[in-house]
Amino acid sequence: MRKCSLDKMNLVFAEIAKNAALYLPVDQNDGSAVYKKWEEGTVWSNALNTVRSPKDFFFPQTEDLMKFTTSGKNIEIIDTRSESEDFVIFGVRACDVKSFDILDRVFLTEPVDSFYGSRREHGVIISLACTRPSETCFCKTFGIDASEPAGDISAWKTETEIFFKANTEKGEELLNKLSALTEDCDDSTVNEQKAKINAIMNKLPLKDLTTDAFGGGKTNEFFNLPVWDELSGTCLGCGTCTFVCPTCQCYDIKDFNTGNGVIRYRCWDSCMYSDFTKMAHGNNRLTQKERFRQRFMHKLVYFPENNDGEFSCVGCGRCLAKCPISMNIVKVMKKLGGATNE
Amino acid sequence: MNNRVETLIPKLGVITDVRIDTPDIKTFRVVTPDGKKAFDHRPGQCAMLSIPGVGEAMFSITSSPTNEEFMEFSIKKCGCVTDWLHQAEVGQQITIRGPYGNPFPVDDVFAGKDLLFIAGGVGLAPLRSVINYCRHYRDRYGKIDIVYGSRSKDDLLDYQEIINEWSTDAGVNVHLTIDNPQEGWDGHVGFVPNYVKELGFDTNKVAVLCGPPIMIKFTLEGLCAIGFEKTNIYTTLELRMKCGVGKCGRCNVGAKYVCKDGPVFRCDELDELPAEY
Amino acid sequence: MQKITREQLIEKAVALLADGTVSCVLGWSKGEFDYDVTPAIFNNEEELKANFVFNDFCGVNFSKYLVAKTQKCEGKILVFLKPCDTYSFNQLLTEHRFDREKVYAVGIPCEGMADVAKVKTICGDGIASINFDGENLAVTTLYEDAPVMISTNDVLAERCVNCKSKKHVAYDELIGDEGEVIESNRFDEVEKLEAMTPDERFAFWQNELSRCIRCNACRDACPACTCEKCVFDNPNSGVENKSPANSFEEKMFHIIRAFHVAGRCTDCGECSRVCPQNIPLHLLNRKFIKDMNEFYGEYQAGAEVGSRAPLVDYTTEDLEPGEVFNRGDMNA
Amino acid sequence: MQVNEYKPLIVAFCCNWCSYAGADLAGNNRLNYPAEVKIIRVPCSCRVNPMFILRAFQRGADGVIICGCHPGDCHYTSGNYYTRRRMAALFSMLDYLGIEKERTRVEWVSAAEGAKFAATMNDFVEKVVALGENKRLEDLRCKK
């Protein structure tokens, strides 16, 4: 365990930024936070979390896959892939760190997605324990410990100091580079901090939400329930929940004709959109109810079925805060039988 | 990095032959620019064909894996990509990636069994690769029955091949039918599901179905009615696909991805899936 | 603090359900927290009593839901409309988007709705409960023992700060008192932008629009966006693009969207309310409204059913597009 | 003329009945106007959807001009009156977003006004050249 005074944070950032692009949450005019590249003068945000999740770093909203040029009947395929640069993401919360595991299960299983894989290899994650969780937080439901975030390096912040613990080789290496700015310490302060966090976690309004009712193999139990009508009744069919979600990974592949070649790019897509499954001969999900059901069934039943019981939700609470009509996974879980422990 | 295989990046292919099968179905022969087969596949598997700027779409590979020289795709004109392909001429380059999906279990489940293939319209396309595979390794399988129906005589896919090759094979019975009577047609007239019931097959065989959803639905009911077990009936599904490798989430039905876990499903497996296909 | 209560509305709804005037009720349903409210259909008294809410966070404009719900629901739907919602209601009627006969509209007065984001900037994250206490909100957080008292006037949503009308322009029945059209300052922000140099304006919008994640929430919540198939969802339109790429797509989307609703936008403010990235989209719509007021005379979309919007009308004496800028220069 | 070699790309939407004929007349009369002006013939100036204008900019146009019949002379009676209102609103919006107002223009050019067509184009191109490349509504993907 290493520690350093918060006054020295700028030096720490500068040291990290020497060798890799450093991204950290920064406040915007409207009060929300966003990950920005650090440069001298950048101020680290105090916000609990960013509106957009850090999945962008590994799975950006839009990225070029390849380029084509055509002449007559001939096509040339141009592989535009390049090795990702080294980068460090600072201040990732426990829930978002967990979301990378979930994305890994999708993109790093055979056949490996090399676009995602390259960025994953070159990224170092410095996580940060939550000192002031929001009422929308429910990471505990998914077995995530907000006081003990994973990542290459875990960090804890107190009023005056910041503590680092390396969890991986990559993290060790980075922390060693910071040795001049940090000093060794025992974990008593961090343990105090953890206890404090856990005390708050036990006060959160959603603390009793459980996943007991859900999991693989329960498709038929939930699929035809009439409550889907009620739950999806006023869903607007926008993509806000999917786009702010750290674990939603559906994408579309599209071609863009630039006038001097065709770029094939991939971009986020949302199962909430009416054209998600539309094909030439029809659409197998015709109403919003079916699309809505797909999203939640995927997170609570289908994904765990294929991934050793792992749910594809991390309880970050972004959809709770951002849905235009305040319909969200918590309401769905409670309605479908996510009985509380009370 | 660039030497890493990326499944989303396709290979080049060239259309070396275009055969007009029916008014709205053409069969395209595709090889790599140096004249080889783009990749090996198993019967029932699919490939992603694309034309830059138009789009990419999944098609079943119609030719048999035993064909070492080229691949064929029978494609019905029904959307952007297929419209474009139907205008393409010999020599046109396209892109191709694959193979994707689960093949038919030709080497284990099918081995030694009598086989019944039932197809409607362009649904013969995915079955043609299995049928020709089984004909190639004729001694591995029992009796083969093929029931194929279409709207009219002109809409029968691969008619020449059916008449000249399939029908003449020993132990292969071909039963053709068209929906409505037509001049110059002396074969059976009627819908496939009814024809199957009329023919009344011995239930001790494996059935493979492919065709429009409505045909599959009624034929399946018919087969079950005459005593077939769902565990002995196979069919293929089709949904919108983008990546082909179970990541983009589009063809997700229940916990299955049609591109990865399908397109071939056993009918009792289908019953486990939510009715969203 | 709203002048009418949840109980009054439930009573009205129950009575209308009981005498068969309506078969269901479109209302606000309570959520996990005191501030989160979901639109929902209520079919009977039990459902209403269990879940119906009305408080300072009931901002959702129900008008758009009528397009889909009137087609599904047998019998009449009871809908509660705040004054600003009635403008959207009329505008949709003008465009023949739903059957007036299938709706029973009850106008309700509105004292302005609160924006929870503004509440959080005052008391911080971690709201445990909110009590509606007279003119104030008593907000208890997970971190302080004593509740923070916040005046509702300090946390009004932007659109309510600049409320343009407390008068209902459509209803079958009114609960409470009728208000008046208000002289608002809603164009002040637009004027501020107009007074900037083009470079400053560009920088401003570049910063705002680059945050867009193309979630389409603005479009899907907008009561003026009721196309069966949006041009941005249609692969055959040539402009279908799902993602903000290269800082052009999102500009295109927002300019075209604002233009498409120009003259039809009632300035209900739903677009800005639902934007997850807090982009001030209402400033685009208000620019169109302000321009058209100046160029072609005052016009309020939805003020009356059947009125002709400025962009589908003309006079032979209209100003030339080039003169638009001269006017701007004169103003500056 | 300008010393630098910068050649702008100008898209001119010309109505079939007046302005396109006006352009034709300019050509017949051997009147010079810059070759950078690419004319797109439209049935009426009111056929021009705001999307066309934005897409022209996306695809590399540096200026977009719409030419139609003089108000009152529209072949379809009232098309250009609508154009007038729409473009007034749209151009004002583009200006509001900080896009240089000199990049967009509407001119009424009749079939008899070959000289006006040439003069308008010369003037428009000159103004756009003074502004330089369109950077504010560009799509980098479309740049070589």
In this prediction, the residues of chain C whose per-residue pLDDT falls under 50 are: 328-332
Instruction: Domains for chain D: give ranges and CATH numbers.
Output: 10-142 (3.40.50)
Range of the domain at A104: 2-201
- What is the pLDDT at residue D144? 62
Rounded to 10°, the helix D50-58/D79-96 angle is 50
Does the CB of A80 have a partner CB in chain D at under 8 Å?
A: no
Q: Residue B274, preceding bond cis, omega within 30 degrees? A: no
Same domain membership, residue A151 and residue A94: yes
Same domain membership, residue A121 and residue A11: yes
The sign of the torsion formed by the CA atoms of C260, C263, C264, C266 equals: positive
* Residue spans per domain, chain B: 11-100, 114-236
pLDDT band, very low/low/confident/very high, at D13 (cuts 50, 70, 90) = very high
* Residue spans per domain, chain C: 6-113+161-174, 117-151, 188-331
Q: Which chains does C contact via 3+ CB–CB distances below 8 A? A: A, D
- What's the whole-number average pLDDT of chain B? 87
Does the CB of D58 have a partner CB in chain C at under 8 Å?
A: yes
C-alpha distance across the termini of chain B, in Å? 38
- What is the pLDDT at residue D41? 96
Dump pLDDT digits (tens) for C215-239. Answer: 999 999 999 999 988 888 887 777 7
Q: State mean pLDDT over B188-204.
A: 84
Between C294 and B6, the more confident residue is C294
Task: Using CA atoms of D1, D3, D4, D6 in order, give the dihedral in degrees to the nearest 10.
Answer: 0
Residues of A in contact with C127 (CB under 8 A): 135
- What is the pLDDT at residue C74? 86
Residue A338 has pLDDT above 70, yes or no: no
- Which of A11-20, B184-193, C237-246, D18-27 has the lowest average pLDDT? C237-246
* DSSP-assigned states of every residue in A191-259: HHHHHHHHHHHTTSTTTT---TT--TT-HHHHHT-THHHHHHTT----SHHHHH-SS---EEEEEEE-S
- Report the C-alpha gap between C110 and B234 in whole angstroms: 62
Q: For chain B, what is the total number of helices (H) and then of strands (E)? A: 7, 15
Same domain membership, residue A167 and residue A132: yes
Q: CATH for B114-236, among 3.40.50.970, 3.40.50.80, 3.40.50.10860, 1.10.3720.10?
A: 3.40.50.80
- What's the whole-number average pLDDT of chain A? 90
C225 touches C254 (CB < 8 A): no
In a mutational test of the A interface, the residue from C64, C73, C142 whose CB has the highest number of chain A CBs within 10 Å is: C142
- What is the pLDDT at residue A339? 45
In a mutational test of the A interface, the residue from D11, D55, D141 whose CB has the highest number of chain A CBs within 10 Å is: D141
- Report the C-alpha gap between B103 and B100 in whole angstroms: 9
- What is the pLDDT at residue C326? 66
Q: How far is B12 from chain A (nearest CA, A)?
A: 8
Q: How far is A82 from chain B (nearest CA, A)?
A: 7
Residues of A in contact with C215 (CB under 8 A): 238-240, 242-244, 270
Report the DSSP beta bridge partners of residue A74.
Answer: A71
Dump pLDDT digits (tens) for A205-252. Answer: 999 898 988 888 888 888 888 899 999 999 999 999 999 999 999 999
Report the DSSP beta bridge partners of residue A156.
Answer: A163
Residue D57 has pLDDT above 90, yes or no: yes
Dump pLDDT digits (tens) for D84-136. Answer: 999 999 999 999 999 999 999 999 999 999 999 999 999 999 999 999 999 89
- Report the C-alpha gap between B124 and B197 in whole angstroms: 19
Q: State mean pLDDT over B183-207.
A: 85
Dump pLDDT digits (tens) for C78-98. Answer: 999 999 999 999 999 999 999
| Of A167, A201, A235, the domain-final residue | A201
Dump pLDDT digits (tens) for A23-81. Answer: 999 998 888 899 999 998 899 988 888 999 999 999 999 999 999 999 889 999 999 88
Strand duo A282-283 + A262-268: pairing: unpaired
Q: How far is C121 from chain A (nearest CA, A)?
A: 8
Nearest CA in chain A to D58: A258
- Residue A213 falls within a domain, yes or no? no
- What is the pLDDT at residue D3? 55
- Residue A207 falls within a domain, yes or no? no
Class of domain B11-100 (CATH, top level):
mainly beta
- What is the pLDDT at residue B142? 87
Same domain membership, residue A177 and residue A228: no
- Which of B131-140, B199-208, C22-31, C101-110 has the lowest average pLDDT? B199-208
- Report the C-alpha gap between A1 and A129 in whole angstroms: 14
Residue B277 has pLDDT above 80, yes or no: no
- Report the C-alpha gap between C279 and C216 in whole angstroms: 12
- Residue A83 falls within a domain, yes or no? yes
* pTM, full prediction: 0.91
Same domain membership, residue A225 and residue A177: no
How much is the ipTM here?
0.90
Determine whether the interchain pair C322/D105 forms a contact, defined as Cβ–Cβ distance below 8 Å.
yes
Residue A156 has pLDDT above 90, yes or no: yes
- Report the C-alpha gap between B209 and B116 in whole angstroms: 9
- HSE value, Cβ hemisphere, 13 Å, CA-based, for C321: 29
Chain A (23-52) residues lying within 8 Å, Cβ to Cβ, of chain B: none
Determine whether the interchain pair B254/A219 forms a contact, defined as Cβ–Cβ distance below 8 Å.
yes
- Residue A170 falls within a domain, yes or no? yes
Same domain membership, residue A184 and residue A128: yes
Neighbours of D41 (CB within 10 A): 13
